[in-house]
C-alpha cells in the first residue's frame, strides 16, 4: 500500500536566509571535508547547502526526533550524494554521535540555535567544537545578537518575546558568546552583518 505520510516540515525563514548564509559559507568553510550541522531543524538548509557546497560532506543533526524525521524526509525528497542521514546530537552532551562513530569533522555550522535554547546549549556547542575541530577548523554561527548600545531595537523586542516563551531562551550578547568560545580554544575571526539584523560569526580552532 502506498503511504502518503510526508514528514517534511517547513521553516519559511530558511528560504529567506539561505542564499545569504551560503555566500558566507562558500567563503569561510574549508574547501573539502566533513561539515557537521548542529541543530539542523527541518532539514531544508541541509538539502540546500549540501547541494551547493560539494565536494564537502554534509552531516545534519538535531536532538528532536520529529525534526530528524523531517530532515530524512527532505533528504529523500531532494537527495544529494554528499548529504548524510541525520544524527542525534544534543549540543550539551559530553560525547557527540560523530565522536562515537569516529567521523572527523572539518567545520561545524550552527544556525539560529543559541537564542532558542538554554545557555547550556551554547556552552555545549563551544565545548564540542573545542573537542572535535582540528587546528584551524571552523565554527560558523548565524543568528541575532545583542551588541551593547548598537543592538537593533528589533532584536531587543525579539529578546523579550523569546524570554516570555521560555525564561531560558534569549538573544545573547555577542561578547558572552565569544568569551565562551575562547574558553574552549576557539578564536573569534570575524562577524558579518546579515539581513534582518542577524550576524554570521566565525571562529577558528587554535
Ligand X SMILES: C[S@@+](CC[C@H](N)C(=O)[O-])C[C@H]1O[C@@H](n2cnc3c(N)ncnc32)[C@H](O)[C@@H]1O
Binding site for ligand X (CB under 6 A): 11, 14, 38-42, 45, 62-64, 67, 90-92, 111-113, 116-117, 121
Residue showing the smallest CB distance to ligand X in the complex: 41
In the complex with ligand X, which residue's Cβ is closer, 32 or 100? 100
- Least distance CB 2 / ligand X (angstroms): 29
- Least distance CB 96 / ligand X (angstroms): 10
Cα 29–Cα 31–Cα 33 angle in degrees, nearest 5: 90
To the nearest 10°, report the CA torsion of 25, 144, 36, 97.
180
In the complex with ligand X, which residue's Cβ is closer, 39 or 105? 39
In the complex with ligand X, which residue's Cβ is closer, 147 or 162? 162
- Least distance CB 134 / ligand X (angstroms): 22
What's the Cα-to-Cα distance from 164 to each of 148, 151, 176, rounded to whole Å? 21, 19, 21
In Å, how far from its chain's centre is CA 192?
16
- Least distance CB 115 / ligand X (angstroms): 8
Neighbours of 18 (CB within 10 A): 18
In the complex with ligand X, which residue's Cβ is closer, 149 or 192? 192
- The 3-class SS string of 62-98 reads CCCHHHHHHHHHHHHHCCCCCECCCECCCCCCCCCHH
- Least distance CB 67 / ligand X (angstroms): 5
In the complex with ligand X, which residue's Cβ is closer, 35 or 91? 91
Amino acid at each position: 500500500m502506498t503511504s502518503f505520510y510526508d514528514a517534511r516540515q517547513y521553516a519559511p525563514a530558511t528560504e529567506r536566509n539561505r542564499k545569504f548564509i551560503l555566500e558566507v559559507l562558500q567563503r569561510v568553510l574549508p574547501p573539502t571535508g566533513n561539515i557537521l550541522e548542529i541543530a539542523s531543524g527541518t532539514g531544508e538548509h541541509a538539502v540546500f547547502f549540501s547541494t551547493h557546497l560539494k565536494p564537502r560532506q554534509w552531516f545534519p543533526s538535531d536532538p528532536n526526533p520529529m525534526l530528524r524525521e523531517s530532515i530524512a524526509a527532505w533528504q529523500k525528497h531532494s537527495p544529494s550524494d554528499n548529504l548524510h542521514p541525520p544524527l542525534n546530537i544534543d549540543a550539551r552532551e559530553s560525547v557527540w554521535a560523530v565522536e562515537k562513530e569516529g567521523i572527523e569533522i572539518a567545520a561545524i555550522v550552527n544556525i539560529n540555535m543559541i537564542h532558542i535554547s538554554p545557555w547550556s546549549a551554547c556552552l555545549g556547542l563551544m565545548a564540542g567544537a573545542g573537542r572535535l575541530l582540528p587546528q584551524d577548523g571552523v565554527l560558523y554561527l548565524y543568528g541575532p545578537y545583542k551588541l551593547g548600545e548598537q543592538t537593533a531595537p528589533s532584536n531587543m523586542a525579539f529578546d523579550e518575546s523569546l524570554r516570555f516563551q521560555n525564561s531560558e531562551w534569549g538573544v545573547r550578547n555577542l561578547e558572552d558568546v565569544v568569551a565562551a568560545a575562547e574558553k574552549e580554544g576557539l578564536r573569534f575571526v570575524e562577524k558579518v552583518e546579515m539581513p534582518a539584523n542577524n550576524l554570521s560569526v566565525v571562529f577558528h580552532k587554535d
